[in-house]
Amino acid sequence: MLTSAENNSSARLEVPKTPLGTILSCFVATVLLVAILLFSIEGAEIRFGDLWKNRGNMLEYGSGFLKPDFLDWPDYLQEMIITLQIAVWGTFLAIMGAIPFGLICSSNISPSWMTQPVRRLMDLLRSVNEMVFAMLFIAAVGLGPFAGVLALSLHTLGTLSKLFSEAVEAIDPQPVEGIRATGAMPIEEITYGIIPQVIPLWISYSLYRFEANVRSASVIGMVGAGGIGMLLWDAIRSFNYAKTAAIVLVIVVVVSVLDFASSRIRRLYI
């Protein structure tokens, strides 16, 4: 039997040593992070002391949230349903576009002369916020939910196309090569070799973006793109804290329910 001294000696021998390169890399990364944070203080106007100086306003606003006003709950519910409908259509249109664009953006199945321009287009759509798109479409099609649908669909198209293409680029190439060896057409390679491998991830990404779009649809309503956002904006700018709290609670409950439902759906496919 091993003595206690021998056990301690073997335990010390099993402790892995951290390579010097790893230590230096962590040190350099830490220094860079600190430098970036310090450089960004002035531009971001970091003034934590203002939180204490304005504590009276924050306490007043917080106390209003403790007494939510659900007197107009039928209006909240109706506008929340419209918000969900905007998110549903915005996500659906984005998914329909992200399937072909995601495949085109995949470097392992599309030529570079086609992949690169489409990727840059998706970068453009992804870099423009939904609020900006909403204001542009309000000028084009007028106030209302349709402008919100178009805004969400374009921004989500850029995001989902990138996620879909990354899933395609990570597939196992052997099933595709086996199908190609049978003389199958490219569309058959995609249908039977690629889609079955990526569909679980595509579903997961789509559900996540739908949840995000519900939250985004609640915000773009503030500029007139329909949904509960307009009610929320009216309550905020009128300093009606109780009504603001009620609307926020409605949004939180709906998003939480959707998060629970989507997680259950993910378990079925992943």
3-class secondary structure per residue, 52-66: HHCHHHHHHHHHHHC
Average pLDDT over residues 128-148: 88
Question: Is residue 9 a part of any domain in this protein?
Answer: no
231 burial class (0-12, 13-18, 19+ CB within 10 angstroms)?
A: buried
Question: What is the C-alpha to C-alpha distance for residues 219 and 251, in angstroms, rounded to an integer?
Answer: 11
Question: Is residue 41 a part of any domain in this protein?
Answer: yes
Residue 29 and residue 86 in one domain: no
Question: What is the C-alpha to C-alpha distance for residues 93 and 149, in angstroms, rounded to an integer?
Answer: 9
Averaged pLDDT score across all residues of the chain: 83
Q: Which amino acid is at 9?
A: S
For the cut 60, the answer to whether the pLDDT of residue 151 exceeds it is yes
Average pLDDT over residues 28-54: 82
Residue 180 and residue 261 in one domain: yes
Q: Angle at which helices 112-127 and 73-104 pack, to 10 degrees?
A: 160
Residue 59 and residue 88 in one domain: no
Question: Is residue 10 a part of any domain in this protein?
Answer: no
Residue 91 and residue 223 in one domain: yes
Average pLDDT over residues 148-168: 92
CATH code of the domain containing 235:
1.10.3720.10
Residue 38 and residue 172 in one domain: no
Which of the four pLDDT bands, split at 50, 70 and 90, describes residue 18? Answer: low
Which of the four pLDDT bands, split at 50, 70 and 90, describes residue 30? Answer: very high
For the cut 80, the answer to whether the pLDDT of residue 270 exceeds it is no
Residue 150 and residue 265 in one domain: yes
How many domains are there within the chain?
2
Question: Is residue 7 a part of any domain in this protein?
Answer: no
Ranges of beta strands (E only) in the chain are none
Assigned token pair, 29: 């990364």
In whole angstroms, how far apart are CA 264 and each of 157, 207, 212, 251?
Answer: 24, 11, 17, 20
Domain ranges, residue 53: 15-64
41 burial class (0-12, 13-18, 19+ CB within 10 angstroms)?
A: exposed
Cβ atoms within 10 A of the Cβ of 56, count?
8
Which of the four pLDDT bands, split at 50, 70 and 90, describes residue 121? Answer: very high
Residue 184 and residue 98 in one domain: yes
For the cut 60, the answer to whether the pLDDT of residue 86 exceeds it is yes
Cβ atoms within 10 A of the Cβ of 4, count?
7
Question: Is residue 8 a part of any domain in this protein?
Answer: no
Q: What are the contacts of 128-132 at 24+ separation with CB within 8 A? A: 128/154, 128/155, 129/155, 130/155, 130/216, 130/219, 130/220, 131/219, 131/220, 131/223
For the cut 60, the answer to whether the pLDDT of residue 6 exceeds it is no
pLDDT tens-digit profile of 185-235? 878 888 888 888 888 889 889 988 998 898 888 888 888 887 888 888 888
Picking from 24, 39, 64, the residue at the C-terminal end of a domain is 64
Residue 89 and residue 206 in one domain: yes
